């Protein structure tokens, strides 16, 4: 074989090997990202199950139901309607960060983490209907 062809063949083979190595590296990174996402989803599911089991004997849900049901109960009686309005106005006067924290506590209490994230996003100036940027949860 001609020496020039050997050199060209060697160079072309080296370039091909380099591209193959880069392709394998990208594939490995992609597989690692997929595996990490699967582990994160599994951990989140396990957390949900643990929290559900832990809340079986908890009164958190009932507490928040009473807190938010209070104005409805008061409003059912004509002589307490002014108090019900005052209660709702009081809650409406709270700062956004406080409402976000309470909303997150309620969401966590009933297992709605996504709702809590939306409330926090709203209070950080992001649209509540837009999911957080990738990399944030």
Task: List pLDDT tens digits, range 57-86.
Answer: 777 778 888 888 888 888 888 888 898 889
- Angstrom distance (rounded) from CA 37 to CA 50: 20
Domain boundaries, the chain: 1-56
Q: Encoding tokens for residue 115?
A: 């709702």
Name the residue with higher pLDDT: 34 or 136: 34
pTM over 0.95: no
- Mean pLDDT within 29-52: 84
Would you say residue 112 has pLDDT above 80?
A: no
- Count CB neighbours of 53 within 10 A: 9
- Mean pLDDT within 35-41: 88
Q: What is the CA radius of gyration of the chain?
A: 28
- The mean of the pLDDT values for the chain is 78
Name the residue with higher pLDDT: 121 or 100: 100
Which pLDDT does position 115 carry in this prediction? 62
Phi, psi of 93 (to 5 degrees): -80, -5
Long-range contact set of residues 49-58: C-beta below 8 Å, sequence gap at least 24: 51/111, 52/111, 55/109, 55/111
Q: Could you tell me how many helices (H) and strands (E) the chain has, helices first?
A: 5, 0
């Amino acid at each position: 074989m001609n020496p020039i062809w050997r050199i060209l063949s060697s160079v072309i083979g080296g370039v091909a090997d380099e591209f193959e190595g880069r392709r394998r590296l990208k594939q490995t990174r992609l597989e690692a990202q997929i595996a990490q996402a699967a582990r994160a989803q599994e951990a989140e599911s396990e957390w949900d199950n643990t929290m559900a089991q832990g809340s079986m004997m908890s009164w958190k849900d009932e507490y928040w139901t009473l807190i938010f049901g209070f104005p409805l109960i008061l409003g059912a009686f004509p002589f307490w309607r002014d108090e019900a309005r005052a209660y709702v106005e009081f809650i409406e006067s709270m700062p956004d960060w406080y409402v976000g924290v309470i909303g997150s506590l309620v969401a966590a209490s009933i297992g709605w983490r996504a709702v809590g994230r939306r409330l926090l996003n709203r209070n950080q100036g992001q649209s509540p209907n837009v999911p957080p940027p990738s990399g944030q949860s």
